[in-house]
Amino acid sequence: MKIDRTLFLFSDGSERISELTVDFFEIANLFNRLLNEVYDGKRIKFLNVHFLTERSYELVPEVKQDSHHYYGGHLAYHGYFNRSEFTSLTRRDQIECAWNRACDYLSRTASLIKNESLLHASEHARQRGREIGFNPDYRLIESELTIYGRKMKGAVWVNFKEDGMYSKFTLEEGGNLIYEQPLGAAKKGNEFFLDMYRTIGTYKGNIVLDGYREVGYLPLEIPFEKLGLS
């Protein structure tokens, strides 16, 4: 089983701090992926980690600080953050702060909901996140390809930048980059962008990237001749 989706949600009183929530979209996505590297407990459809200020708890007293809610595959944790202190931190320190708190929150919750795998996954994510420098970029899909009789690896990547998300296709042989082509872009928070590419294959002298037909440029064909291999 797996954790389908994770979000880090920031609020101050009645205000949902959308700029922080969107800014941490890729970090929550990375957190979700690292949890799933080892998680094998009950399926969690939605994991929402709420970072709430003191004003938030004063406004809604029935929601208690450091409490969780778990029902029907939905898990939410209500944590705390000081808005002025948090926004004064560097980007790296903000990430480390939110990351470590999220790991702490899941560790506390795991025993309460009798999910030992969640505890193991949270400690794995804590360590792996630091090891990779909290780099959220990753391969959306990859495939082994044979081109001109040579074994290669094709992949579609997503790169997260300050102004949005960008996808690209790469072709590697023996760990060396052979070819790279930009594909598309989207605003942060667009989950469809992370799921719209489905397959990489070859057909009649072309590399073929396919996915949801709502994406105007898919399927995309890249002729072998364009790769500069012959």
Q: What is the tens place of the pLDDT at every residue in 45-98? A: 999 999 999 999 999 999 999 999 999 999 999 999 999 999 999 999 999 999
Q: What is the pTM of this model?
A: 0.93
**Looking at the structure, do residues 121 and 179 belong to the same domain, yes or no?**
no
The answer to whether residues 183 and 156 touch, using CB atoms and an 8 Å cutoff, is yes
Q: What is the CA radius of gyration of the chain?
A: 20
In a domain, 97, yes or no: yes
Confidence of residue 229 (pLDDT cuts 50, 70, 90): confident
Q: Are residues 57 and 124 in the same domain?
A: yes
Domain span including residue 186:
138-227
Note whether 42 and 93 are same-domain residues.
Answer: yes
- Choose one of 131, 149, 179: the last residue of a domain: 131
User: Do 70 and 146 sit in the same domain of this protein?
Assistant: no
pLDDT digits (tens, 9 = 90+) for 142-186: 999 999 999 999 999 999 999 999 999 999 999 999 999 999 999
Residues 6+ apart with CB under 8 A from 111: 119
Share the mean pLDDT of the chain.
Answer: 96
User: Both 36 and 14 in a single domain?
Assistant: yes
The residue among 131, 165, 185 that closes a domain is 131
10 plus 108 within the same structural domain: yes
Q: Verify that 78 and 107 share a domain, yes or no.
A: yes
Is pLDDT above 80 for 230?
Answer: no
CA 131 to chain centre: 16
**Is 53 in the same domain as 158?**
no
Q: Is the same domain home to 65 and 111? A: yes
Which amino acid appears at position 17 of this protein?
I
Q: Which of 81, 98, 131 delimits the end of a domain? A: 131
Whether 21 has a pLDDT exceeding 70, the answer reads yes
Contact 108, 130 (CB under 8 A): no
Determine the Cα angle at 11 with ends 10 and 17, to 5°. 70
Confidence (pLDDT) at 228:
86
The strands making up 46-52's β-sheet, listed across from edge to edge, are 15-16, 6-12, 46-52, 74-80, 67-71
Do 101 and 149 reside in the same domain of the chain?
no
1 belongs to a structural domain: no
Question: Helices (DSSP H) in the chain: which residue ranges?
Answer: 18-23, 25-36, 54-59, 83-87, 91-112, 116-131
168 and 81 in a single domain? The answer is no
What is d(CA 97, CA 105) in angstroms, rounded to the nearest whole number? 12
Residue 163 within a domain:
yes
**pLDDT, tens digit, 9 for 90 and up, residues 162-172:** 999 999 999 99
For residues 123 and 143, state if they share a domain: no
Q: Is 56 part of a structural domain of the chain?
A: yes
What angle in degrees, to the nearest 10, is found between the helix axes of 25-36 and 91-112?
40
Q: How many domains does the chain have?
A: 2
Q: State the average pLDDT over residues 208-227.
A: 93
Rounded Cα distance, 163 and 169, in Å:
20
- Residue 127 burial (10 A CB sphere; 0-12, 13-18, 19+): exposed
